[in-house]
Structure 1
Amino acid sequence: MGIDAGFDMVPPLSKGAVDRQNWKSFIEFIKGSYKNDDLVEIKLNYIVFKVGEHPMLPFEGHKFLRFSSKVSGSHAKGADGYIDAVTRVAKVNFGSRVRAWNEGADIWGIHDWQEVNDSFRSYEQPDAPEIPTSIAQYVLGTDPISDLNLSLFSIQQVTGKGKGLVARFDIDKGKRILSEKPFFTTSNLVSGSLMESSIATKLKALSKTEQRQFLSLHNNFPGKNPFSGITKTNALPCGPDSVVGGVYPTICLINHSCLPNAHNSWNRDAKCETIHATRLIKAGEEITICYKDGPYDSRRASLKNAFGFECSCSLCILPPAELQASDARRRQIRLLDEAIGDPERVMIRPEESLADCQSLLRVLEEEYKDGVGVLIARLYYDAFQISISHGDQARASVFAERGFRSRVICEGEDSPETQNMKGLMENPATHRNFGASNRWKTGKKLVPKGLDNVGFEKWLWRRGS
């Protein structure tokens, strides 16, 4: 097998002028040092060292994550010298960001191999030029909006919807838009005088400003119990399937879309609701979350009954043929999800369950495009559980890593669910189902290296194995 060694760049370089200039100087030094070396070739977009596993240095520094190779074995002759020399030069240029590692010394790389392989593939095609939004972003590659703690949204009147949240700037996928504690939480969501009295007591504990904010929220159940009507209309569950709901001054103003661009989640540790962008949200675009999903007729009826409006989002106004295609996908999503959740089938025919996970991934991406959100994180956790239940730590670790990255986008790194996925990524054998079967038994370190994307996905989903 051989031993891998090299270095990772942690954190990766930015696109700012300072990092770009430092990387350019580093690359020019490497070019000059090896200009007469037949084993070092200057390609169009990168430098390749034709030893070992052919380690590369891209000309675009922000793409670089790792420089490494096998340094032992029949095909590694001479690789260790190049690895050591380039690592020393990198340390001079980038200091503590250069994390040297050597598997022979039980020191492992920081970045995940799938992420590294993705970065390698990106070397072939240079990025399109970007226009910086500020001098700070141009020079340092930083985000001045975050640095200045500017609000990413404004509260505006949205045509046909009342108040809503509208992006003031472009909001990147995975960006936390808002984190907010509720006015109050309640598990009593049954209409009547008992609920009205309970909510009235909670309102008395709020400031006058907070009371006015609460009373300004939409009430889809007008009548003699206004407090409970507002609460029923606006309360968001404090976690999936929770019977406890929270009412918020700002988050409750976020309107619905059947193809939302943001995701709301309850952080039980911080006791707050968070909103994250699940795709790029352009400046001037309304920020939306999903209240109800499912096929067209059922979700429209639910939205009308619970919130009093007829949805006119980008999905609901599609021509009939396209709506029917969307409904078919959503029905397929439900059926695949139900099949994947069958525990007996997972143990008896796991290859079918895993194949359904891959099919579900395709349908989700077709239906939700780049904004698939938390559904993909749940899918990867299902694939993880199938793999780890049969002792396959290698694939389980990859699925957990993908689930972790998806959770970071939807909920942030401080989410308990995100941290749980991180723990399973690092040590999949800690899952309660590990060892229920040894049918697919593998070690965590047996994730293949050097495969192209097609080959890796075939391995991951057990296609042709």
Structure 2
Amino acid sequence: MSENAYIVKDTPDKGKSMFAARDIKRGELIIAESPLVYIPEHNEAESIRAVEALSKKNKKYFYALHSVYSEDEMSLIYGIVRTNAFPLGPDSPDSAVYRVISRINHSCVPNVKHKWNPTTGKEHVTAIKDIPEGSEILTAYQSPLKTRAERHHALRAFRFQCQCPLCTSETSDEYDMAIKRIEVCSKLIETACAANRPRDSITYVREVLALYDKIGASGKTPYYYDGFQICAMYSNFDLAQEWADRLLQSCISEEGVGSRDYAKFLAYML
């Protein structure tokens, strides 16, 4: 990670936003940031308590962030939290607000992935595509692996209508069909594994990966892991190693070499 990988600057329509200060390579860790404030259980009372305990300097950083909610709807503190917080993991009730990372705007076709790393106690932002200098750094506030209607419903809490290339594309219906097929195949992988049908399982894994490539989405790493596990489970170790190779490369691209998953998957290469 290099300190000059990004810059935060004002924009005409989205306030302060994050941009690439130089060309950024896919798989590069752009920033690993400690929380400005932790929010236990992501509720209003805890938000107020946590923010009031901040230092004067950190309160200044916090109140510099934007809230999309009026104070008739909720307190200013909770409005800022609701607008800017990231969960500390997919199933965590806790969240955090960041001085820099909370400036990253949303796109359903993001060029970075944000992920909480409990080992470092920081939120990691990793490039999932090559990002040219001057391009805006964009993440997905919710899973892009949803239909357009589902994505727009999920984004209502942020009070904006997404105008990313995917949401405005004429091929959005084709994307929606691919997403629905990925959901079906994911369930078929589980069913085939439970029924001891490894060939069928691998066939569905390959179909999912092809669909990801077709729609240009990230998130393939878990499916490479499925392929590795299926082959290893049935003692096809040569093929398992091929899947492990692809798994590691996918993890580098989507998570970065500093991720916990990378360390775990690297062991499969030994």
Deviation at 1:351, TM superposition (A): 1.1
Q: Aligned pair 1:421/2:265, yes or no?
A: yes
Q: Aligned pair 1:324/2:173, yes or no?
A: yes
Distance in 1 separating the partners of 2:125 and 2:26: 11
Distance in 2 separating the partners of 1:213 and 1:405: 37
Q: In structure 2, what residue type is equivalent to 1:302?
A: A
| Corresponding residue of 1:155 | 8
Distance in 2 separating the partners of 1:399 and 1:250: 36
Deviation at 1:238, TM superposition (A): 1.6
Match 1:234 to one of 80, 84, 109: 84
Question: How many residues in Structure 1 have an aligned counterpart in Structure 2?
Answer: 266
**Does the aligned pair in 2 maintain the 1:189–1:228 contact within 8 Å?**
no
**Does the aligned pair in 1 maintain the 2:39–2:50 contact within 8 Å?**
no
| Corresponding residue of 1:247 | 97
Structure 1 residues 387 and 203 mapped into 2: Cα distance closer, same or farther (>3 Å)?
same
Distance in 2 separating the partners of 1:214 and 1:265: 21
| Corresponding residue of 1:302 | 154
Unaligned runs of 5+ in 1: 1-145, 427-465
Deviation at 1:165, TM superposition (A): 0.6
Q: In structure 1, what residue type is equivalent to 2:188?
A: A
**Does the aligned pair in 2 maintain the 1:401–1:421 contact within 8 Å?**
no
| Corresponding residue of 1:93 | none
Distance in 2 separating the partners of 1:393 and 1:199: 50
**Does the aligned pair in 2 maintain the 1:258–1:313 contact within 8 Å?**
yes
**Does the aligned pair in 1 maintain the 2:182–2:211 contact within 8 Å?**
yes
Structure 1 residues 221 and 393 mapped into 2: Cα distance closer, same or farther (>3 Å)?
farther
Task: Say which structure, 1 or 2, has more relative contact order (CA 8 Å, 6+ apart).
Answer: 2
Q: Aligned pair 1:275/2:125, yes or no?
A: yes
Match 2:201 to one of 353, 358, 361: 353
Deviation at 1:376, TM superposition (A): 1.2
Structure 1 residues 338 and 276 mapped into 2: Cα distance closer, same or farther (>3 Å)?
same
Q: In structure 1, what residue type is equivalent to 2:111?
A: N
**Does the aligned pair in 2 maintain the 1:346–1:386 contact within 8 Å?**
no
Distance in 2 separating the partners of 1:339 and 1:159: 47
The share of aligned pairs that are identical, in percent, is 29
Aligned-pair Cα RMSD in Å: 1.9
SS in 2 for 1:264: strand
Distance in 1 separating the partners of 2:194 and 2:202: 8
Q: In structure 2, what residue type is equivalent to 1:313?
A: C
SS in 2 for 1:164: strand
Deviation at 1:159, TM superposition (A): 4.3
| Corresponding residue of 2:49 | 201
CA deviation map 1:437-464 (0-9, x unaligned):
xxxxxxxxxxxxxxxxxxxxxxxxxxxx
Deviation at 1:348, TM superposition (A): 2.1
Q: TM-score, normalization: structure 1?
A: 0.54
Q: Which moved more, 1:287-296 or 1:230-239?
A: 230-239
Q: In structure 2, what residue type is equivalent to 1:186?
A: I
Distance in 1 separating the partners of 2:259 and 2:195: 30
| Corresponding residue of 1:215 | 63
Deviation at 1:359, TM superposition (A): 0.6
When Rg is computed on C-alpha atoms for both structures, the one with the higher figure is 1
| Corresponding residue of 1:336 | 185
Q: How does 1:124-143 map to 2 (within 5 A)?
A: none
Deviation at 1:212, TM superposition (A): 1.7
